[in-house]
Amino acid sequence: MADLKDMLKQIRERTTLDQERFVDENMAIVDYIYQLLEEKKMKPIDLARKLEKTPAEISKWLSGTHNLTLQSISKIETALGERIILTPAQAKLQYESVKYVTLKVYSNPDLVSIQSADSGHYDVYDWNKDNCKPGNPVIKLAS
């Protein structure tokens, strides 16, 4: 056990900051690809079929240690119909329409209020059985 701890310590000491960053970024991308696969009820083998790759190659890509190229990431984006990497400018354009609201919780469980981040104005909504029917949104946050 001491030998393993010493070996891990030596590896950590020899690992450069750019290597650490590579591993972190690569793992974040692979985690997101797995999240997209799950959302689309797909498995890596389905991705392999779409990309006309072998399951073994996709498994290697998704291991977290493979050096994914921008070209391979672009192919995955196309196959999944989703963006995986966004520049800060692209992210700002895509997400700038997000509006934040503040919810106030009252001791009366039938009331909820929403404060617009823009105006600071609170609207109180009645939270009751009539509002909670299937297909009838209780609160419409954006139009």
DSSP string, 41-84: T--HHHHHHHHT--HHHHHHHTTS-S---HHHHHHHHHHHTS--
Q: Tens digits of per-residue pLDDT, 79-136?
A: 999 999 999 898 888 777 656 666 555 555 555 555 555 555 555 555 555 555 544 4
Residue at token pair 């450069």: 16
Beta strand residue intervals within the chain, DSSP E = 101-105, 111-116, 122-126
Is 49 strand, coil or helix? Answer: helix
- Residue-wise pLDDT tens digits, 49-71: 999 999 999 999 998 888 999 99
Q: Please determine, for residue 141, whether its predicted confidence score (pLDDT) is greater than 70.
A: no
124: β partners: 113
Could you read off the pLDDT of 7-22 as tens digits, one per residue? Answer: 878 887 888 888 888 8
Q: Which two tokens stand for residue 7?
A: 């070996």
Per-residue pLDDT at 40 exceeds 80: yes
Domain ranges of the chain: 2-92, 99-143
CATH of 2-92, one of 3.40.630.30, 1.10.260.40, 2.40.30.200, 3.30.450.20: 1.10.260.40
Would you say residue 1 has pLDDT above 50? yes
